[in-house]
């Protein structure tokens, strides 16, 4: 793979990054090193090695999803900066007709 200014510009566009023209040479050097690392990995013989999906056999331990009232209304409203008798008030974020 040839690493040139065009490739750096294309990758920058795909990643939504903007680079200073003076940074291009350093980026090309870094990309060459990264590709070199992958070329080293390709040399390793992995014949007969099972793909590793997880590092260990642990699985998520989830609690049952049971509806319960953990807070009273008063507790839930206690730290709300704006509220009325039963609701937390928030600023309007949707404009009509727009």
What pLDDT, in 10s, does the model give residues 8-35? 999 999 999 998 888 999 999 999 999 9
Rg (CA), the chain: 27
Terminal alpha carbon distance of the chain: 49
Does the pTM surpass 0.75? The reply is no
User: For helices 5-14 and 24-43, what crossing angle results, to 10°?
Assistant: 90
Instruction: State the average pLDDT over residues 62-88.
Output: 90
């Amino acid at each position: 793979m040839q690493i040139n200014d065009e490739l750096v510009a294309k990758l920058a566009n795909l990643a939504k990054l903007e680079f200073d023209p003076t940074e291009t040479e350093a980026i090309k050097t870094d990309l060459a090193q990264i590709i070199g690392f992958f070329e080293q990995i390709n040399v390793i013989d992995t014949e007969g090695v099972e793909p590793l999906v997880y590092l260990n056999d642990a699985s998520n331990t989830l609690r049952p999803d049971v509806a319960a009232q953990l807070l009273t209304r008063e507790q839930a409203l206690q730290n709300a900066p704006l509220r009325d008798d039963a609701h937390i008030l928030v600023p309007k974020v949707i404009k009509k007709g727009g």
